[in-house]
Amino acid sequence: MDLPPVGLGTMGLSDPSTVTTAIDLGYRHLDTAQIYENEGIVGEGIAAASIDRSELLVATKLWTDRLAGDDVRRGTEASLDRLGLDRVDLLYVHRPRDDYAPDETLPALDAVRADGLTAHVGLSNFEPAQLETAREHLDAPIAAHQVEFHPFFARQALLDDAQAHGYPLVAYSPLAGGAVFEDPTITEIAADHDTTPAAVSLAWVLSHDNVVTIPKASSPTHLRANREAAALELDAAEIDRIDAIDREEELYPE
């Protein structure tokens, strides 16, 4: 998939005007999920925007209790009803556990894709071996893989898989839950560029081939700043400094 460098993550968003504002500011990739319990909010924000639906890329994720073969279609239709859409552009398996069974879940996702309820099938929070198994059961290539990815937690094996197979890695929590604001390396690099630690963290994420990101923001100021971070270029030495940070923090372990 050809995803914009910066999309909008919506976990925790409760005001549809935030989604509308993001669209008005140029966001075209909107990401939600059943477990966020705000698909209706995202749908209201889309409906209020003065833009053609065809210009947006809307993604949602089936939660782990909607992954049994017989539940995939019902779960997808329920998400579409809440979003007020007749299809999504990208439908993810949120986590490969509980009702997930690759030989049942993935063919069921292929079926809803074939019937036009989604344009693409993606995966989220998979391990390399699980990605390989998924490829054995999906008719179409994996369209995207969404994972936690930031300066304090970046799985090289998952990046390698995305690059080897030519799909985007969609980085969630690119600001490490705000921890990047306190890291001395990142704050020093931000000062050198007269910018914010958030912009540096986003620029570092986007410096990797095949990686896009979906930071959450609610104010127009932060929405603008996150999109503008895509234009910030870090040099090789700055990237190496961030790579060398001796700190590992996974915010959302399995």
Segment (H or E) for 169:
strand 169-172
Q: How far apart are CA 123 and CA 170, in angstroms?
A: 10
Contacts of 173 (CB under 8 A, 6+ apart): 148, 149, 150, 251, 252
Quick one: how far is CA 156 from the chain centroid? 17
Q: How far apart are CA 233 and CA 245, in angstroms?
A: 19
- Catalytic site positions: 36
CB 173 within 8 A of CB 150: yes
Could you count the other beta carbons within 10 Å of the beta carbon of residue 179? 19
